[in-house]
Structure 1
């Protein structure tokens, strides 16, 4: 069958854009996907009362779903109809797999192979440096995500039955929570969410595990899949991700647990089991999960501040988590340690980290901090709220976490946070590369001279 000329021209244009600027094309397609889901949520049948959602609420929810954030302006369980919740769930799944990754999977299903264009786009989205690894990574993404989502759903299904839900309701809620947990989305299809069951480990444990694995990143899962338990054969990226994630999780659980342990508004009213579950949630969920067993708005301001730091760091690279990523933090901390020791090289686990990685880590952290600063100033003006509330909401949106203090948002603030979620999901450096007018290598290098620092 002959392919129409307009389709050939469009395909040629996409191929050219993918080769010359895959990051820019990825951002454009991602925005287009959000537009499609916004249109679907604007339909009257998407809301429970059939009146239709406002543009601001539809855009905010669609962006939050595709960017797997979990922030909401309306209650997911009561405001949206079953059809609207299905749209949100599909948006979470698309956002979790990655738009370019999904396109590559569809292309592979049709043509039985992955073309250069799809490899370039997928590599841009998943941060894989070797194009030959794209096929294996796609298999890991599909198998891991689907298997873990189903496993979480299978663990939750009997619990919902015990809570006296019908078989249909239990199956739907189990699947929704399974997809939302592994993809670090934070959306809850039940009224009250996990706050209604703060001491229920049967509900909390599978969701915790799904969020933790999803936040590691597919490259880490691929590496462990290939090498098994052979720790010595793990890549430096895998070791840094696992080690830093463990430190942040334990540190977050201990510190926030100490702040909230005896506060009646949060952990103080719970039994010991509920307190430990809440503390573990506090260590894992700011990494981008967005679930909570207590009201975040009732927590101590010190807990908010420490949660801000955890949210800003986020999870692993090329994962379903947001933030500047744990390896970014690890590289900067290792550089500080090397400087304090007087070492010329930044080293970890018997490997030397190149200077380019440190430069990129500093750039990602600085760009992220600048975005948070500017957005916080803007949101302060738009809402008139206190700085601690505003800073929490901004970082939660930028890091695609989904935790919220419950601050009321005017429509202008909804658009601002939607843009923040988009930037946070596509990546600060990806957006910077997509907007760059040129990328050139200098032939002439100037003489070196050190300025005075510190």
Structure 2
């Protein structure tokens, strides 16, 4: 009889233990979603490092060097596109499958992924899980009041946002692949290779990763404007961000109803695309190694393509080292800005630079408030934007100094590859492929910090405000 009693109690004890574990995970994820996201992110990198270390993952059947496997795992999960090996010839079909799956995981965002894992553990999308996902779409969520709820996605709509993330990832990539597939058949690519390459390119475009499945990269398609235009569309859709996609799919034809975040993201993205292309036209039209031999329409198109890809796409139809130094600096600026918030792109985000510009305009006009599209932007938003920029600049500066010391390479090349890593762009001057092991570790950490650092810092800064019962005497230092 005692045995039966023990058997009856054991399931209850088991459920109680599982419930305690689940409650602890929920408490941790709710109290610190950013730290939970970083733990999940780190775990994924370790898993994919092991996967890329498998002998079956390489063409030769030999175990990949640990530094190369680690760097590839970080680049894949961070959807960066930088590589220390020839991605097309080094990895086997299984290795490319790992790449394909990894970029899909990395594309959804660390906090969104964390919320999905939290949902799997708790079996429901509770308030904490919603807060985790909301933090990825809007780090300012930690503030109270109408500021947070007037953003692109309200807290009650987070469940729908997660559905949008999953559906857009599938639908957009299938649509891009369907447009690329017939073009590949016309170019004489075998049927099965055309199917695989179509889905591979569509995934690398939408996730803003930029890997190519063939050794010669885009050389085969450098004059195929249909193919390149599809890649640009995929990169643009990935770079505007899932909250913007979610808002546009509801109000695409009613721009007057768009939230301030959506308007700032779309307008700033298009403005940077045009200004970047204009800069490349002016700086490269007489460079025989890049656009100097092209006619006017081709120069305009290739400049637009380069402007889009330096924002976060990572594809290139020209050799990056052939660009003039002035063009490399313009590319550095575009890569540092990156894509939209909660997007597959990296960088400090377009809304961050937009807010800083609006703050500068307000100061120049003597206006106490930042205003855009008939809305007032609170001052705490600009403080978060400044923090994000300073954090990003610090990462870039430290990584650049360290790699300059390690490699003794030219400053413009080191700076370009470092910002490319921080902005998860994937373009390279050739420096990355020749890095020693310690250099690979430095650049890998730059990719990791670039992917999760700015969001984490923004969330931390937004949540760090405390109420005070007193204010100290005011005194103005001299600035400028």
Measured against the shorter chain, the TM-score band is over 0.9
Structure 1 position 259 matched with structure 2 position 279: no
**Match for residue 134 of structure 2?**
123
**In the alignment, does 2:80 pair up with 1:69?**
yes
Q: List aligned pairs for 1:299-378, cutoff 5 A.
A: 299-378=323-402
Q: Distance in 2 between matches of 1:47 and 1:6?
A: 42
Q: Does 2:125 match 1:114?
A: yes
Q: Deviations over 1:235-266 (max 9, x none)?
A: 11111111111111001111112222232211
Q: Within 5 A, what are the aligned runs for 1:11-410?
A: 11-102=22-113, 104-105=115-116, 113-127=124-138, 129=141, 130-270=154-294, 272=296, 274-407=298-431, 408-410=434-436
2:96 and 2:208 mapped to 1: Cα distance?
Answer: 17
Asked if the contact 1:278/1:292 (under 8 Å) is kept, the reply is no
Farther-moved stretch of structure 1 (47-56 vs 7-16): 7-16
Q: CA deviation at 1:432?
A: 7.5
Q: Give the match's secondary structure for 1:427.
A: helix
**Aligned with 1:318: secondary structure?**
coil
Looking at structure 1, the residues matched to 460 and 377 of structure 2 have their Cα atoms a distance apart, in angstroms, of 26
Evaluate the alpha carbon distance shift between residue 273 and residue 110 of structure 1 in structure 2; reply closer, same or farther with a 3 A threshold: farther
Asked whether the equivalents of residues 37 and 114 of structure 2 are also in contact (C-alpha less than 8 Å), the reply is no
**Cα drift, residue 145 of structure 1:** 1.9
> CA RMSD, aligned part only?
2.3
Deviation of 1:126 after TM superposition, in Å, equals 2.6
Is the 1:92–1:185 Cα contact (8 Å) retained in structure 2?
yes
Q: Is the 8 A contact 1:67 1:422 kept in 2?
A: yes
The SS at the match of 2:240 is coil
Of the structure 1 ranges 422-431 and 234-243, higher mean CA displacement relative to structure 2 is found in: 422-431
Which residues of structure 2 form unaligned runs of 5+?
1-10, 142-153
Does structure 2 retain, via aligned residues, the 8 Å contact 1:48–1:81? yes
Aligned to 1:423: 449
Residues 284 and 432 of structure 1, relative CA distance in 2, 3 Å threshold:
closer
Q: Whose Rg is larger?
A: 2
Bigger Cα displacement from structure 2, 170-179 vs 8-17: 8-17
Do the aligned partners of 2:356 and 2:385 also contact (CA within 8 Å) in 1?
yes
